[in-house]
């Protein structure tokens, strides 16, 4: 496939899907990323041939040669988005075109071929269509979709691979944090940074997450749910969390989030929150926030709320901040009114319960 050519997906339904009773048991309390559906999508790429061999088939292990390039130099990218059971019984995706665009941007940064938007969207529609019975109908449940792509060429030289495999899998999920929408506690990492200028911070590549795990483990040792990364140059400015962007809400009703300077992931939830908050009459700004200022504004009461946002986290209040010098609470430590109101607006749009005035919702069924 090259340019605008359309891929034909070969559909091979799973001959031994999970029984309805077993599926219902799994969907009762899926947690996050532990349960998987019956199918997956795969599309191959080779230099000179383009994208080919698109399939919807039974979810199964992927045979791999031990010299597959990804196993050595981590040429891998991924995305995360959700399919929702909408209030009218249909199924919706939230801004999947934005995920397609970010997947292409990540591919460019990692010297990988770009999967055309149409193929990305069709892969989602095929998988959600064939596995639609796996979408949890409980409040807060959704089908998390994980598109990813890796260098599958068998060679050990350090150069961009000539062959890639795109895969899409799906996982029914509940809340990312075990406490649901209860405020989380975050750990400000003193030692580890996530991304430096010129690095891969704005790309959704597996390596960024591998490098964050030790900092996340340190957060957990300190009784925290997530790590907050400061910038790599001055160790002063708040970048983002391990898997979420961050917003600050002040006593004048304004919202501030760190700007996209290339070291943080351009979150689709982040961008949506900026639009929704502005529509609701809040002043919004993309501005650097220093950790010192965060502490000072929490102490003075000027800072009322802080929240994390992302596909997995949706919008989750941050109640307490821990760091090597101590800890502090934000506001009264509970979920803030602005946080919960923006969350509700977002969730209502995602589930088709509110007007989709920005055209963010794509119906798949
Ligand atoms: N930042 C990081 C590091 C992430 O992994 C994610 C999740 O994808 C986000 C931010 C939020 O991005 P989005 O809102 O597009 O899910
Ligand atoms: C997402 O929100 O989709 C992510 O990839 C973040 C990760 C913490 C699951």
Nearest partner of 55 among 126, 136, 161, 152, judged by Cα: 126
How far, in Å, from the CA of 267 to the mean position of ligand 2? 10
CB atoms within 10 A of CB 110: 22
Coil, strand or helix: which one is 37? coil
Residues 219, 297, single domain; the answer is: yes
Ligand 1 atom with the smallest distance to the CA of 270 is 14
Q: Find the angle CA(316)-CA(321)-CA(324) to the nearest 5 degrees.
A: 145
Catalytic residues: 204
Question: What is the pLDDT averaged over residues 87-94?
Answer: 94
Mean pLDDT for 302-310 is: 98
Residues 82 and 217 in one domain: no
User: Which residues sit with their C-beta closer than 6 Å to ligand 1?
Assistant: 80, 240, 243-245, 265, 267-270, 310-311
In this structure, the answer to whether residues 51 and 154 fall within a common structural domain is yes
Q: Both 237 and 315 in a single domain?
A: yes
Residue-averaged pLDDT of the chain: 95
Same domain, 140 and 211: no
Pairwise CA distance, residues 156 & 329, whole Å: 50
Same domain for 23 and 81? yes
pTM for the model: 0.96
- Give the nearest ligand 1 atom to 265 CA: 1
Which CATH number fits the domain that encloses residue 21? Answer: 3.30.470.10
Number of domains in the chain: 2
- Pick the ligand that lies closest to the CA of residue 266: 1
State the residue for tokens 């944090």: 177
Query: What is the structure's pLDDT at 173?
Result: 95
198-209 mean pLDDT: 98
pLDDT of residue 4: 52
Position 272 pLDDT exceeds 90: yes
Q: Which residues have C-beta within 8 Å of that of residue 291, sequence separation ≥ 6? A: 188, 230, 236, 237, 238, 323
What is the tens place of the pLDDT at every residue in 223-269? 999 999 999 999 999 999 999 999 999 999 999 999 999 999 999 99
What confidence tier does 289 reach under pLDDT thresholds 50, 70, 90?
Answer: very high
pLDDT tens digits for 132-161?
Answer: 999 998 878 999 999 999 999 999 999 999
Same domain, 196 and 142: no
Q: Is the pLDDT of residue 288 over 60?
A: yes
17 and 112 in a single domain? The answer is yes
Rounded to 5 degrees, φ, ψ at 292 are -60, -45
Q: What percent of the chain has pLDDT over 90?
A: 93
Q: Whole-angstrom Cα distance, residue 151 to residue 158? A: 12
The domain in which residue 295 lies consists of 184-350
Residues 93 and 229 in one domain: no
In a domain, 4, yes or no: no
Answer with the one of 173, 194, 223 that is the final residue of a domain: 173
Q: What is the pLDDT of residue 138?
A: 81
In this structure, the answer to whether residues 322 and 203 fall within a common structural domain is: yes
Shortest-distance Cα residue to atom 5 of ligand 2? 80
Residue nearest to atom 3 of ligand 2 (CA): 80
């Amino acid at each position: 496939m090259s340019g605008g050519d359309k891929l034909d997906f070969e559909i091979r339904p799973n001959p031994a899907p999970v029984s309805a009773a077993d599926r219902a048991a799994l969907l009762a309390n899926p947690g996050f990323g532990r349960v998987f559906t019956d199918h997956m999508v795969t599309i191959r790429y080779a230099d000179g041939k383009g994208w080919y061999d698109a399939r919807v088939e039974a979810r199964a292990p992927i045979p791999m040669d031990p010299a597959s390039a990804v196993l050595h130099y981590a040429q891998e990218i991924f995305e995360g988005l959700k399919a929702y059971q909408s209030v009218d019984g249909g199924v919706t995706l939230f801004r999947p075109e934005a995920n397609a665009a970010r997947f292409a941007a990540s591919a460019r940064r990692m010297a990988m071929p770009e999967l055309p938007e149409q193929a990305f969207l069709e892969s989602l529609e095929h998988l959600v269509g064939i596995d639609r019975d796996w979408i949890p109908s409980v409040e807060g449940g959704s089908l998390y979709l994980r598109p990813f792509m890796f260098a599958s060429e068998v060679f050990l030289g350090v150069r961009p691979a000539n062959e890639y495999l795109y895969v899409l899998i799906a996982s029914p999920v509940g809340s990312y944090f075990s406490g649901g929408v209860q405020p989380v506690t975050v750990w400000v990492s003193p030692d580890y940074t996530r991304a430096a200028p010129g690095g891969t911070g704005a790309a959704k590549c597996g390596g960024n997450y591998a490098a964050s795990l030790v900092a996340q483990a340190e957060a957990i040792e300190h009784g925290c749910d997530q790590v907050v990364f400061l910038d790599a140059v001055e160790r002063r400015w708040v970048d983002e969390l391990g898997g979420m962007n961050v917003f600050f809400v002040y006593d004048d009703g304004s919202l501030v989030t760190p700007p996209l300077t290339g070291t943080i992931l351009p979150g689709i939830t982040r961008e949506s929150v900026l639009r929704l908050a502005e529509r609701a009459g809040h002043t919004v700004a993309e501005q650097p926030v220093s950790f010192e200022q965060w502490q000072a504004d929490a102490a003075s009461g000027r800072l009322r709320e802080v929240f994390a946002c992302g596909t997995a986290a949706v919008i989750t209040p941050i109640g307490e901040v821990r760091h090597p010098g101590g800890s502090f609470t934000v506001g009264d430590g509970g979920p803030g009114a602005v946080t919960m109101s923006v969350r509700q607006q977002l969730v209502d749009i995602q589930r088709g319960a509110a007007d989709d005035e920005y055209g963010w919702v794509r119906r798949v069924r």
